[in-house]
Structures are given as C-alpha cells and as structure tokens.
Amino acid sequence: MSQSSTNEQKTEVIRIEKRILSPTAINTYLSCPRKFYLRYIEKLTTRPSIYLIRGRIVHQVLHLFNREKGRKEGPASPENTCKELLGMFEKEWALSKDAINSLGIPDERVDSFRHESELMLMNFAQWFHECEATRADLAEARIWSRNLGAMGVIDAVHLLGDKVILVDYKTSRHMDITEDIERQAAIYALLYRDKYGVTPHAVWIHFLRSPDDPSPVYVDEHTLQYGKILIDSVHEKTVSQKEEDYPCKCGGNCEKEFAPAPKWIGSKTS
C-alpha cells in the first residue's frame, strides 16, 4: 500500500473541550437558549443596570465584612455592625459613581436604590446579632471543577460544628425559592463536595430585604444527583457553536439585555 493511500485512510480526530458552566450559565440556557448563545458564545456585553450595580456593591460589602473573620471585634451590637457595613458601603458606592451616572436615571431613583441597599445591610446586621452569627469561614469561595466542567462563586461558607452551610445572598425584590435558585443551590453543593469531599448540610438563601433567617435548601444525595444531571444535560446541548442551534424562547426579550456590538465586528475590509 502506498504512502498516499495510507494518508487517505487517516481519520482526523477533533477534540472538543468541555465548556465550563456556571449556575448562571445553566439557568440562562434553560430560560432561553438564544440568550445563552449571545452571552456565552457571541460574548456580547450585558447592558449595565442599577440592579446589577447595586447587587455587586452589596455583595462586595458583605464579602469584605466576612473576610475579616480574624479581626478583633468591638462591643457586640447591631449599631457597631451597621456602622461598619455602612462605612464600607459608602466607599463602594462612591467607587461606582461614574457607572451609576452613566445610566442616565433620575437622581430620585438613584437615591431610592441607595436607601434600599442601606436597608439591606441594616437587615443583615440585625439578623447577624439576633442569631448570634459569626463571620463566614470562607468568603466568596470560588470553586472550579474540571471533573464536572463547572464553576461557581459561593458567597459565604459557615462551618457550624460538623455541618457545612453554604450561603447565597439575594438582593432581588422577590423572596421566593424559585426553580432557578434550587438549581443554583444544587450545583453549589455539588461543586463544594467535589472539591472538599464533604456534603453541605444546606444552602442558605439569604434574602437581604428582610431581617428574617435565611431560607434553607437542604442537601441530600438527590440534590447532588440533580445538580449533576443539570450540568451534564446543558453540556450536551451547548457543544455547538452554530447560532441556529440556540432558538429564542423568550419572545425576543433576550436581545434587549445586551449592548449593541461595535460596528466594526463582522465588517469586511475592502
């Protein structure tokens, strides 16, 4: 057999890298495949909004608060905790001033969001002291798993005796455990066990609009299996890079969530 014949019989092997999925990416695909395509394949930029900016600020404040676990505490009181949280909030809000101003929304609405954000942190301080809570053992635990092909950022991890509690802070208006939240909790729990070999007892969903206790999503083997099924299923459905494989299921609303691509993208040079 000639060398040319041998070459003709060779089969090209194409290795497809597994996409690393986050809980947000999985929920995005399940809500609207086209939105997933625009965000994670076309990599369009999400339009800025006061909700996104405020959420980032509040999460950053709680991250800074929790990572000071080893600090010497002053007199334990809601007032001192409020003072600490609101002091950090003032700095973070000031750092985001240009981004907020670029939105072009009325000052009254900006002030309303600022006041709401401060109330959320005051609610957290009240809960923190009424429950005699401690700062988190891990703040913003970033977990990557090549084994699962997934990643996630867990807002806080508390080690309470022999129990591991994962915490997800929420700044949204609605305080219900939705399917999106249940999926997110299952994936966080699975990621934590994959890295540390320990199954979390629960994922606390901490709705910051209320000083009440967080709402728990308890974790068992069914929860972990659910998380694995979600990841595997969305992996299988997002291998393609073709736009036609990602139909819109939201009536076109997904298109409005992204900033227009620069005009030069896709343009041909003469």
Model pLDDT for residues 180-196, shown as the tens digit of each residue: 999 999 999 999 999 99
Q: How far is CA 48 from CA 25, 63, 84, 98, 100, in A?
A: 18, 22, 28, 12, 9
User: What average pLDDT score do residues 69-94 get?
Assistant: 82
Residue 55, domain CATH: 3.90.320
Q: What is the rounded distance in angstroms from the CA atom of residue 243 to the CA atom of residue 61? A: 39
Residue 251 lies in a domain: no
Contact 48, 55 (CB under 8 A): no
* Within a domain: 12: no
Residue 2 lies in a domain: no
Taking phi over 0 as left and psi of -120 to 50 as alpha, with beta for the rest, 47 belongs to beta
| pLDDT tens string 34-53 | 999 999 999 999 999 999 99
Enter the pTM of the model. 0.87
**pLDDT of 32 over the 80 cut:** yes
Helices marked H in the chain? 3-9, 23-31, 33-36, 50-66, 78-95, 97-101, 107-130, 179-196, 221-237
Q: Is residue 15 part of a domain?
A: no
pLDDT tens, residue by residue, 202-233? 999 999 999 999 999 999 999 999 999 999 99
CA 96 vs. chain centroid, Å, equals 19
Taking 50 as the threshold, does the pLDDT of residue 265 lie above it?
no
258 Cβ contact list (under 8 Å, min separation 6): 38, 39, 44, 45, 46, 47
How far is Cα 187 from Cα 53, in angstroms, rounded to an integer?
A: 25
pLDDT at position 19? 87
**Contact at 8 Å (CB) between 154 and 167?**
yes
The sheet carrying 163-170 orders its strands as 138-145, 150-160, 163-170, 202-207, 215-218
Question: 268 or 170: whose pLDDT is higher?
Answer: 170
Total domains, the chain: 1
In angstroms, the CA 171 to CA 175 distance is 9
Q: Identify the domain containing residue 31 by its residue range.
A: 23-245
